[in-house]
Structure 1
Amino acid sequence: MRAFDSLTPSLIAQRKTVHEVCRLFSKSPSKGNLKRLKSFLGQCGEHVYIESGFHCDYAENIYLGDRVYINSHCTLIDSNKISNSQQIENLADDGAITIGDDCLIGPNVQLLAVSHDMNPMQRQQFKHNYAQGITLENNVWLGAGVIVLAGVTIGENSVIGAGSVVTKSVEKSCFYAGNPAIKVRDL
């Protein structure tokens, strides 16, 4: 987990730029606006399709594999990328959102890799955000309205039922559902 101050002038400006690109894409989901949106991402594989209504904060810390489909009105709350002068062992420690190959993301899904202070006095200072990565391994399907919280990894070939809230990591090749999401069965 990494702490950062999202209210610095540079991060406010970065979010404003990315939000405008998302807004333009939502208003007019043309190939040009999709190309511009994809150019902001940390990585965008081949044959990635993003429906209108997509929203993210920084984009540079989102990594999409090949053949990813993101349905309408999805929100990926990502963190800013750590500066090159600081070394980090893995993307999850940097608060990255990593989506593997062949993933299906249903409409209105939220991937929330950033959280705030639990202590109310610290939270009032608006100084700290905490980034912890989210990883969807290959061939994951998230049903409509799924919420995935920071620090979660969803194993390959797993399915998360519509409306579920995923608070803990999910095994590979399993079906999880509910709030909080629990294992229903192996696939």
Structure 2
Amino acid sequence: MSFALRLFPLLVLASAPALAQYPSEPYQEEGYDQYTAPAVPENVSYGYAQVLRADEVTEIVRTRTPEERCDGVEYRQSGQTTGGTIIGALVGAAVGNQVGKGNGRKAATVAGAVAGGAIGNNIARNKAEAEARGCRIVEVEREETRVVGYDVEYMYKGEKYMSRLPYDPGNRLRIRVAVSPDDTGYAR
């Protein structure tokens, strides 16, 4: 008996487990459901379409920012910063009083009053200077037009299509072409 004839039965026996994994009729398999069956890879290819036009899609964005506005008239500066100094000292003393115990509390109250008075005086002076120049802080609303996408009309194999894209594609647009059967007319 030749070597090949002796090897043939061994090959048949070795391949039996592999053949048993696949049913002879996959659609008759118990529990098979065509809607939940694993997907077969799509028939996909890529091509290029000619861009006919790309129109910007914009939206208006509103922002509010504080700005100093001056009327150009100089006013005589009064130099009155006493109110700001007093209010700052009172707030600073109240905060300082919350810190420490005994003599430490008294020292913290005095230090808070001094620091608060200096801060209040500085704020009042800045405000007085702005008012002396005839200036005030106002909220200014600005509108800005932003491009948010492009409505692109393109032609592929004699057919026109429209898509909204986040970028301007230029003269050519790479497209994804997928082919699948139309099973809407399938009779059951």
Category of TM-score, reference length = shorter chain: under 0.3
Greater helix proportion: 2
Greater strand proportion: 2
TM-score, L = length of structure 1: 0.18
